Amino acid sequence: MNNPLKPALDKKTRKFKEYNSYNLQSNNYYLLPFRFIRLDEQNELLVNEVGDFLIVSSGTVERIVNKKLDKISDEELYADLIAAFFISETPIPALLDVISTRYRTKKSFLDHFTALHIFVISLRCEHTCHYCQVSRVSENKKAFDMQRHHIDKGIDLMMKSPNPHITMEFQGGEALLAFENITYAVIQAKEKAMLLNKKISFVICTNLAVITDEMLKFCKEHEILISSSLDGPSFIHNKNRHRNGNNSYELAVKGIEESRQVLGFDRVSALLTTTNLSLLYPHEIVDEYYKLGFRNIFLRPISPYGFANYNERKNHYKTSEFLDFYKKALDKIIELNLRGEFFREDYAAIILRKILTPFPVGYVDLQSPAGMINSVIVFNYDGKVYATDEARMLAETKDYTFELGSLDTHSYEELFYGDKARFFSDAWTNESLPGCSECALQSYCGADPVFNYATQGTFIGHRPTSSFCERNMAIIKHLFLLMEKDARIKTIFRTWITGNN
Amino acid sequence: MNYDLNNGSLIIKVDKNIYSEDVLYKCLYWYTNKYTVFIETKDDHYYSVSIKLANDLSVNEETAKQLNEQILRDLIDFKLRDIITKETQTVRELIVAKAFANFQIDPQYDFDISDPVGFNPDNV
Ligand code: SF4
C-alpha cells in the first residue's frame, strides 16, 4: 500500500542536492576566484571572493588548481569546495547571484557614505603627553578653539551626508576645555537632525581631568557617549600622560566612575595608547582594565603620525615588538575567558567579525575602499577639512597633502567628491594594490593611503616594508591559528562578535 | 633550481617557459624588504635574477641555499595564484558587476526581526 506520507518525506529541499546528484564521472571542475596563504608548515588558508575560508593541509591548493582532486577519494573536501564557492561544476556557477549578493553585503558599509564627523572643537589641552601629535597648552581660545561659524558650517555639511545615522564626535586637544562650544554644537545639530529625520549620536573624546557635574548632566540629557583614555596602571598612565600634579591616572579613574554613575556603565569607554613603556606590561594593562570593570580593551599600536615621530626613542618601537606585546595580552585575555569571564579584545573582534560573519564592519582603519571620506571626515579647529583624523595630525607637521579644503570656501561636493578625493581613490582599494591584490587576507584587511603616505611617502605604499601589512598579516594569521588549534578559543571568539556570553 | 654565488649576490636562472614575467615580479616583490633584486632577460629561455642584501652585505653560502629554496617554493605559489587569477577573471568581473548593478535600497522594516528558534539576526 502506498504510504500517503512518503511523497512528503521524499521531497528534496530546493537548496541542497544529494551528493550523488553532482557529476561524479568527470574531473572537470572550474575554479572560482579565491586566494590562499600558508598559515604554517602544515596548513594552507583559502579565502574566496566573499571572505569565506577553508583551512586545508599543505599541498592541497596545488591539487585543486591543477585539477587533481578526485571526487570519490576527496569526497569531503570536494563537497566543501563546491558548497563554499571555491570551485564550480559549471563555468559560470549556478549560484552566481548568491555570490554577488554576498559580495554586495560585504561592501554595504559604502551604501550610506560618511557616518563619522569629527569636530576638533579645541586644540587646547592641560596635558602634555609625550606622544601627543597636536595639542597646545594655551589660554588662547581665539587661536585654538573652533569658531562658531565653522561649527555651523560643519553641521550643515554633516547634514548633507546621505547617511541616515550620523555620528558627531568631539575631539581635542582636550574637548571639554571648550565645553560651551560642545553644548552649542549639540543643540544646533540635534535640531537640524530632527528636521531632516536623521538619527544622530554624540561622542566626546576626553581625558576626563576637567569633567564637572554640570557637564555630565548635559551629557546625560543629550545621551552623549564618553570616550576616555586609559593607558594602564598609574605607573604607565602617568608616565605617558604628563600634567601638573602628575595625577592624570587618578583623575581618569575618578572621571570614569563618576561618568558611569551618571550616564550608565556602558556609556563610558576607554582607549589605550600603546607606548614603548606599555610594551613591557601586557598583562598588567589587561588586569587594570579588568579591575576597573571594563569587559573589553582595544590594543592599538601608537600612531606613526605627526609629533609622535619626533620622539623616536619612546615611540619608534618595532612592529615585531608590538606583535609580541599583542599576543601576550591576547593570551591573557583568552585565559580570562577560559575561566568563564567575558572579556573582549576589540581589534581581534573587528577582524573576527569579518572572518566569521557575512557582514561588513564599520571600522575606518580596516576597510576597502578605505575609511577616509567614505566613512569619516574631520573638521579641524581652524576650519580646514581633512580626510581622516591622522590626516589632520600630519597637517600639524605642516604636511597638508590630505587637506580637502576649507569650511569657509568649499562646498559639500567640492570636499567630498572633488579632485583630491578622486585622486586618493586610486590607492584606497586593497583589491588593486600591489601585494594586496593576491593576498588571501584581503577581505579581512584594509587599505590606508594616509598611513602609507605618512610612513612610506607614497599613497600606494610598499607592502614588504609596511608596518600596516606586517601587523595585520601577523594578527590575522595568529587568530586563524588560535582557532585551528583550540576549538574552545573559536567558541570564545564567537562570543566576542555576538556579545553573548 | 640551480644557483650561483657571484660577488656576494645570489644568481638564479628562471625558465621563461615555466614562470611568466608577472609571476616572477609578484613573487620577488616580497623579497624587496631585505634584498635588492635585479631581473634581466638573459636569452629567449631564461631570466637571470640577481639578489643582493639591501645593505650591501654579501649573501653567504648558507643564506643562498635557503633563499634559493624559499624562492622556488614562492614561485610555485605565485604561479598557482596566477592560474587562479587568470582562470577566474571573468567570473570575478561578473560577481562584482552583478553586485553593484541595478542597485535598489532594501526596504527598511520598522519592527524587530526574530526567528522562531530564537536566533537573533541582529546579534550575528
Ligand atoms: S596589507 Fe598586507 S595583509 Fe593586508 S591585504 Fe595587503 S598584503 Fe594582505
Residues making up chain B, counted from first to last: 124
Helix (H, G, I), strand (E, B) or coil at A410: coil
Domain count, chain A: 2
Task: Give pLDDT, residue B103.
Answer: 58
Tens-binned pLDDT, residue by residue, of chain A (501 aa)? 344 444 444 444 445 556 565 555 456 899 999 999 999 999 999 999 999 999 999 999 999 999 999 888 899 999 999 999 999 999 999 899 999 999 999 999 888 899 999 999 998 887 777 666 666 666 676 778 999 999 999 999 999 999 999 999 999 889 999 999 999 999 999 999 999 999 999 999 999 988 999 999 999 999 999 999 999 999 999 988 877 778 889 999 999 999 999 999 999 999 998 888 899 999 999 999 999 999 999 998 776 654 445 444 555 567 889 999 999 999 999 999 999 999 999 999 999 999 999 988 878 889 999 999 999 999 999 999 999 988 988 888 889 999 999 999 999 999 999 999 999 999 999 999 999 999 999 999 999 999 999 888 999 999 999 999 999 999 999 999 999 999 999 999 999 998 765
Do A196 and A53 fall within a single domain?
Answer: no
CB of B86 closer than 8 Å to CB of A87: no
**How far apart are the C-alpha atoms of B49 and B21, rounded to whole Å?**
12
**How far apart are the C-alpha atoms of A48 and A86, rounded to whole Å?**
6
Three cell numbers, residue A412: 559639500
* Residues in CB range of A437: below 8 A, 6 or more apart: A430, A431
Residue (of A257, A173, A263) closest to A218 by Cα position? A263
ipTM metric: 0.86
Burial of B61 (0-12, 13-18, 19+ CB in 10 A): exposed
For the cut 80, the answer to whether the pLDDT of residue B121 exceeds it is no
Residues 4-33 of B with CB under 8 A from A: 26, 29-33
Task: Check which CATH number belongs to the domain holding B13 and give it.
Answer: 3.30.70.60
Q: Tell me the residue range of the domain where B45 lies.
A: 2-101
Indicate whether B54 belongs to any domain: yes
Do A157 and A31 fall within a single domain?
Answer: no
Do A360 and A216 fall within a single domain?
Answer: yes
Burial of A112 (0-12, 13-18, 19+ CB in 10 A): middle
Ligand 1 centroid to Cα of residue A367, in Å, is: 11
**How far apart are the C-alpha atoms of B3 and B1, rounded to whole Å?**
6
Indicate whether A238 belongs to any domain: yes
Do A335 and A369 fall within a single domain?
Answer: yes
Q: Which residue has the cell 502506498?
A: A2
Residues 65-124 of B with CB under 8 A from A: 76-78, 80-81, 83-85, 87-88, 91-92, 94-96, 98-100, 105, 123-124
Do A192 and A91 fall within a single domain?
Answer: no
Task: Give pLDDT, residue B111.
Answer: 46
- The one-letter amino acid code at A292 reads L
Ligand 1 centroid to Cα of residue A177, in Å, is: 40
Do A61 and A128 fall within a single domain?
Answer: no
* Residues in CB range of A228: below 8 A, 6 or more apart: A205, A206, A207, A208, A252, A255, A256, A259, A268, A269, A270, A271
Q: Which pLDDT band, with edges at 50, 70 and 90, does B104 fall under?
A: low
Indicate whether A480 belongs to any domain: no
> How far apart are the CA of A353 and the nearest CA of chain B, in angstroms?
9
Indicate whether A63 belongs to any domain: yes
pLDDT digit string (tens) for B14-48?
A: 999 999 999 999 999 999 999 999 999 988 899 99
> Residue A36: its chain B contacts at CB < 8 A?
77, 80-81
- The one-letter amino acid code at A164 reads P
Indicate whether A456 belongs to any domain: no
Indicate whether A465 belongs to any domain: no
Indicate whether A500 belongs to any domain: no
- State the pTM of this model: 0.89
Indicate whether A375 belongs to any domain: yes
Indicate whether B86 belongs to any domain: yes
Within 10 Å of residue A195's Cβ, how many Cβ atoms? 9
Q: Which helix (H) or strand (E) covers residue A159, if one does?
A: helix A148-160
Mutation target for B interface from A103, A109, A354, A441: give the one with most B CBs within 10 A: A103
Domain count, chain B: 1
Q: Per 3-state DSSP, what percentage of chain B is helix, strand, and coil (rounded to 5)?
A: 40, 20, 40
Task: Give pLDDT, residue A16.
Answer: 55
Q: Tell me the residue range of the domain where A29 lies.
A: 25-106
Indicate whether A407 belongs to any domain: yes
**Strand bridging mode A165-171 / A116-120:** parallel
Average pLDDT value for residue range B90-100: 94
